[in-house]
Amino acid sequence: MKARLIQQLENKYLKADIPDFSPGDTIRVHVRITERGGGSERVRLQPFEGVVIAKAGAGITESVTVRRVTYGVGVERTFPVHAPIVDSIELIRRGRVRRAKLYYLRGRSGRASRIKERAEKVRPAKPEPIEEAPVELAIAETSAPVEADGAQEQPVTPVEEAPAEDTDTNEDA
């Protein structure tokens, strides 16, 4: 009973627009940064793009560790997925790996740290439903208006083309 009540409370705070990603995928996390100065607050979004090297937790406690190499220095950040500071997460590309934790990438650099791309398409976070137009409306839109002034179409006469001449001047037989 108590666990079910806690689960219902946590479900209220889960974000719905998080794409399905796994370790090896490249994602871009947009983080809200609040800058304070001069008596005013300014909120801006700072993107952090890198390879997912670990996922931990479930539900509202889910977190993801993202690694990128900038100017030869490896930078890792751990983000709580459903926290208010995480504005959005974009899936950039899918990676093909056979491990759940990619900590071995820490010791590699350059070509050794490359990850093969998975051959499936990137799907949006939530597919939008397709609405179909009613049949009567679709027929009315596709039918062409008929001219009432009695204008007749002129028949199109085909143009005859002359056979192509042989322009080969190099005749060595």
Query: pLDDT-based confidence at 111, cuts 50/70/90?
Result: confident
Query: pLDDT-based confidence at 29, cuts 50/70/90?
Result: very high
CA distance 94 to 103: 18
pLDDT at 149 exceeding the cut of 70:
no
- Whether residue 106 contacts residue 66, with contact meaning beta carbons closer than 8 Å, is answered with no
Tokens read off for 50: 């890198």
pLDDT at 157 exceeding the cut of 80:
no
Q: Which pairing describes strands 95-96 and 40-56: parallel, antiparallel, or unpaired?
A: unpaired
Residues 56-68 pLDDT 10s:
998 899 999 999 9
For residue 73, list its beta bridge partners: 70
- Whether residue 122 contacts residue 93, with contact meaning beta carbons closer than 8 Å, is answered with yes
Could you tell me the domains of the chain? 2-117 (2.30.30.790)
- Write down the pTM of the prediction: 0.63
